[in-house]
Amino acid sequence: MNTQGNTNATNHPGNKERNMAKVASTPRRPWNAFATPTIGKAVRGLSRLLRHGGSAFPGKVVETIDPGFLARTLGQLPYGVVLVSGTNGKTTTTRMIASMLKDLNLKVFTNPTGSNFTRGVVSALLTEVSASGKLDADIAVLELDEAYAVHFVHQVRPRYSLLLNVMRDQLDRFGEIDNTARLLSHVAEATTGTVVLNREDRRIAALANVVPEGTQVRYFGLSDELRKLFPSDDDMHAGDLSAAEKAAAKVEGVNTALASAVAPATAAKVDMAASHDIFDSEGNRIIPKLDARETVSASLAMADSLASQRLADVVLNRVGDHEAEFVMDDAEFETKVQLEGVYNLFNAAAALAVVRAVTKEIKNADVTLPRARDERLMRALSHVTPAFGRGEVITVGKAPVELLLVKNPMGFRMSLASFAPDGHDTMIVINDEYADGRDMSWLWDVDFTSLRGTGVEMVSGVRAWDMALRLEYEGVKVAKTDTNIEEAVRQFVTADPGKPKHIYCTYTAMLKVRSELGKYAKVADAGVGK
Amino acid sequence: MSENRNDNMQTYQPSQAACPIDVMSIYPKDMNIYGDWGNVLTIKRRLALYGYEPVIHTYNQGDPWPEHVDMILGGGGQDNGQKKISDDFFKRADILRTLVQEDVPMLMICGMYQLFGEYFETIDGTKLDGIGIFGVYTEGRETRMIGNLLEHSDQFGDVIGYENHSGQTFLREGVAPFGHVDHEGWGNNGKDGTEGARVHNVIGTYMHGPLLPKNPEVSDFLIRAAATHRYGEFQPRQSDAQKAELAHIDELAANARRVAATRPR
Contact residues, chain A, for B26 at CB < 8 Å: none
The CATH architecture that domain B19-260 belongs to is: 3-Layer(aba) Sandwich (3.40)
Verify that A335 and A418 share a domain, yes or no.
no
Q: Do A470 and B249 touch (CB under 8 A)?
A: no
Look at residues A363, A382, A401 and tell me which one is the last residue of a structural domain.
A382
- In a domain, residue A259? The reply is no
Report CB contact under 8 Å: B252, A443: no
Interface contact flag, A172 B256, Cβ < 8 Å: no
CA of B173 vs chain A CAs: smallest distance (Å): 31
pLDDT given at position A349: 95
For the beta carbon of residue B3, count every other beta carbon within 10 angstroms.
Answer: 6
Identify whether residues A344 and A412 lie together within a single domain: no
- What ranges do the domains of chain B cover? 19-260
| Chain A / chain B CB contacts < 8 angstroms | 104
Report yes or no: B172 at the A interface, CB cutoff 8 Å.
no
Q: What is the pLDDT of residue A375?
A: 86
Q: Can you give the CATH number for the domain in which A423 is found? A: 3.90.190.20
Return the CATH number at A43.
3.40.1190.10
Instruction: For residue B148, give how far its alpha carbon lies from the nearest alpha carbon of chain A (Å).
Output: 7
Domain with A421, as residue range(s), is 390-517
Among residues A382, A404, A420, the one where a domain terminates is A382
Residues A99 and A161 in one domain: yes
* A298 HSE (CA, 13 A, CB side): 11
Cβ-proximal residues to B47 (8 Å cutoff; 6+ apart), any chain:
B21, B23, B53, B54, B223
Whether A266 is in a domain gets the answer no
Choose one of A362, A382, A402: the last residue of a domain.
A382
Q: Please indicate, yes or no, if residue A529 is contained in any of the structural domains.
A: no
The pLDDT, as a whole number, for residue A131 is 74
Q: In whole angstroms, how far apart are CA A175 and each of A99, B79, B120? A: 34, 11, 18
Residues B29-40: tens digit of each pLDDT: 888 877 888 999
Domain count, chain A: 2
> Do A70 and A118 belong together in one domain?
yes
Assess B140–A contact: CB distance below 8 Å, yes or no: no
In this structure, is the dihedral angle defined by the CA atoms of residues A103, A156, A434 and A205, taken in order, positive or negative? negative
What is the pLDDT at residue A32? Answer: 62
Residue A26, Cα to own-chain centre: how many angstroms? 31
Q: Do A465 and B255 touch (CB under 8 A)?
A: yes
Question: Is A278 among the domain residues?
Answer: no
Q: Which of A175, A444, A469 sits opposite B35 (nearest CB)?
A: A444
The reply to whether A477 touches chain B by the CB within 8 Å rule is no
Mean pLDDT of B139-162: 94
Residues in CB range of A114: below 8 A, 6 or more apart: A91, A143, A387, A388, A528
Note whether residue A372 is domain-resident: yes
B248 vs A: CB within 8 A:
yes
For A380-384, B1-5, B137-141, B222-226, which range has the lowest pLDDT when averaged over its residues? Answer: B1-5
∠A489-A491-A496 over CA atoms, to 5°?
A: 110
Give the closest-approach CA distance of A320 to chain B in angstroms.
32
A170 domain-assigned:
yes
pLDDT of residue B207: 94
Higher pLDDT pick, B81 / A519: A519
Q: Does A147 touch chain B (CB under 8 A)?
A: no
pTM of the model: 0.67
Question: Per the domain annotation, does A248 fall within a domain?
Answer: no
A58 contacts A123 by C-beta, under 8 angstroms:
yes
Which of A508, A442, A462 shows the shortest CA–CA distance to A169?
A442
Residue A239 forms part of a structural domain = no
**pLDDT at A351 (0 to 100):** 96
Is-contact A438 B264, C-beta < 8 A? yes
- Cβ of B263 within 8 Å of Cβ of A438? The answer is yes
> By the CB < 8 Å criterion, does A442 face chain B?
yes
β-strands A456-460, A425-429 pairing: parallel
pLDDT by position in tens, chain A (length 530):
333 333 333 333 333 333 333 334 444 566 566 666 665 565 555 554 444 444 555 666 666 667 788 888 888 899 999 999 998 888 889 989 998 998 888 899 987 555 566 677 777 787 778 777 788 899 999 999 888 899 899 999 999 999 999 877 655 455 577 888 899 999 999 999 999 999 999 899 999 999 999 999 999 999 988 887 766 556 555 444 333 233 232 222 333 333 333 333 232 222 222 222 233 333 333 333 323 333 333 334 444 445 556 889 999 999 887 889 999 988 899 998 887 777 888 999 999 999 999 988 776 555 556 677 888 889 888 888 776 556 678 889 889 998 888 888 877 887 887 788 999 999 999 999 988 889 999 999 899 999 999 999 999 999 999 999 999 999 999 999 999 999 999 999 999 888 999 999 998 999 899 999 989 887 765 543 33
Chain A residues whose beta carbon lies within 8 Å of the beta carbon of residue B255: 465, 468, 481
Residues paired with A120 in a beta bridge: none
d(CA A20, CA A215): 14
Query: From CA B89, how far away is CA B104, in angstroms rounded?
Result: 17
Considering the domain architecture, whether residues A359 and A419 belong to the same structural domain is answered as no
CB A398 within 8 A of CB A106: no
In three-state secondary structure terms, A257 is: helix
Option in A240, A440, A465 nearest B37 (CB): A240
* Residues A175, B45: C-beta atoms closer than 8 Å: no
* SS3 (DSSP) at A62: helix
- When comparing pLDDT for B227 and A279, which is higher? B227
SS3 sequence of A107-139: CEEECCCCCCCHHHHHHHHHHHCCCCCCCCCCE
In sequence order, what are the residues at sequence separation of 6 or more whose Cβ sits closer than 8 angstroms to the Cβ of residue A284?
Answer: none
